[in-house]
Amino acid sequence: MATKNLSEVGTGQIPDASEMRFGIVVADWNNEVTGSLLDGAVKTLKKHGVSKENIVVKHVPGTFELTLGAQFLAEYDDLDGVICLGCVIQGETPHFTYICQGVTHGITQLNLEYNIPFIFGVLTTDNLQQALDRSGGKHGNKGDEAAITALKMAALQREME
């Protein structure tokens, strides 16, 4: 069966993360959605042992700003990973495409330039309902999945060191 939820694959491999420190950068645009993604990510990190003090949350205006916000976090703090959370909803103009392209490219670049994982927790949906369904609704919470991915990638990096 196709994988639909990153929280359900290989969860047995998630190590104790009590020594880990993560940054979360969250876009305020569509904040009813991104606020729920943030809640899910924080809850999941804590569930796996990350202390409140080791979760650094920073807000940026929109998804386009996630890349620079994430770079600031990586430059100014000593982190095991950065989770980027945003929500881009299709509108009447091509703005959606440009924002999605910009942030996808930006986060990819950060992954290659820094030796820590930057996780792509950005919803790109046709409408608000699809976004609500994926931020604590009937399709789960992609913030949880972003946190699980961060934990796994940080553990992989530690294993390789």
Contact residues for ligand DLZ, defined by CB under 6 A: 27, 29-30, 61-65, 86-89, 91, 95, 99
Cβ proximity of 37 and 142 under 8 Å: yes
Please confirm, yes or no, whether 95 is among the known catalytic residues.
yes
Cβ proximity of 83 and 23 under 8 Å: yes
10/61 with CB nearer ligand DLZ: 61
Smallest distance, ligand DLZ to C-beta of residue 37, A: 11
51/101 with CB nearer ligand DLZ: 101
Helical H runs in 4-160? 31-47, 66-76, 95-113, 128-133, 142-160
73/116 with CB nearer ligand DLZ: 73
Smallest distance, ligand DLZ to C-beta of residue 122, A: 8
Q: Give the CA distances from residue 40 to residues 56, 93, 147, 160, in Å, rounded to whole numbers and listed in that order.
A: 15, 30, 8, 28
Active site residues: 95
